[in-house]
Structure 1
């Protein structure tokens, strides 16, 4: 059972969004082609779905500015612009993403007291989203990830997939990802490779189905 996991391909992380990733929308046509031609049995998408008062927002910390380091529940926390607030256009999937092929959506980041980069669990690693159990129940044996942003939600989702689904072949499709900070992207790929996560391109994935 082959699964493609699309990470947070939402308006908020694309041009014009509240937390735009440079060139973020460039992943959309690649993701669409992977969904159509990649031979996947299951396609899942994660979606940031924050309450308006989420504690990771700089606006919730008097005097703080976005992209400063702060704290949340006593833990270090990057403070973000308000983004992907539930029921807003910013939180919607990119309009050009072929949502008709998505079989399941895993929302995350709904607890205002903890951030959630990973599609599998909150950053404190205490609360699980249930996605690992869902994929295990479906019999997934290969999990390919792509989306936004490489150095945050893709990285942590891939590492958690590797840790929580040890028998699954986990890979990240590099040209279907975009990151925020080049140094952070490099560190993310180093961490994923060190964890045994495969790094591939969409060309490789599509060739496997040719």
Structure 2
């Protein structure tokens, strides 16, 4: 795609205190080490839109093992049924420790990010207690969909470009936590929505690092481009803003 049609967005997925060591309730190994890469990307001038997402769960969220006694986090699962249509095919989701509960310190974006300076929009997801929502776009149900963050509509609306008039986003770069859950699902839905989609690998970490190589292959096969911070796909975004 010619540069005059290149209008990229950055999506920073769930870079929140509960997902980061040392104190996060669902800390992703080395999760905080992504912050420097994310800040580097946030400063690049070519992005027409910079979005951060947050898990924003009610205390009675279906993904919390504490709401399914005696089931345990990480090892047990629960079946999720569409609360608006019990006849739609349900899905199975892993249970987690309580995390990113609304209005708690753990739900805050990590303090090393500067949302006022760099982030244009913060989107809260996972707000419906009855469904799991890994993707920054929407939950897995379709008939009907239960939760939609509005991200697809936002990306498809016109945004000012450094190389021309305002127009919809064309390319989406995804970073954040965790690679094998919310980053993966966000990237796949971005691709489904028609965007050229990248995951910047140094800007993410996986809950299960051993499983990530296979998931990486599956994402690549689906059409998601997994790139390096030092690669040409990031290099075209330019140098830091003043």
Normalised TM-score (structure 1): 0.94
Which residue among 16, 21, 34 is the counterpart of 1:27?
34
Higher-Rg structure is 2
Q: Which residue of 2 aligns with 1:81?
A: 97
Which residue among 190, 194, 197 is the counterpart of 1:161?
190
Q: Distance in 2 between matches of 1:73 and 1:21?
A: 24
Which residue among 117, 136, 142 is the counterpart of 1:119?
136
User: Does 2:136 align with 1:136?
Assistant: no
Aligned length: 208
User: Does 2:203 align with 1:176?
Assistant: yes
Which residue among 154, 178, 185 is the counterpart of 1:149?
178
**CA deviation after TM superposition for structure 1 residue 206, in Å:** 4.6
Q: Distance in 2 between matches of 1:36 and 1:73?
A: 39
Secondary structure of 2:192 counterpart: helix
Secondary structure of 1:144 counterpart: strand
Judge which range, 31-40 or 105-114, deviates more. Answer: 31-40
Q: Distance in 1 between matches of 2:104 and 2:36?
A: 23
Secondary structure of 2:157 counterpart: helix
Normalised TM-score (structure 2): 0.82
| Cα RMSD, aligned residues only | 1.4
1:22-70 superposed Cα distances (whole Å, 9 cap, x missing partner) = 0000111110011113531210011100001101100000111111232
The structure whose residues are more often helix, as a share, is 1
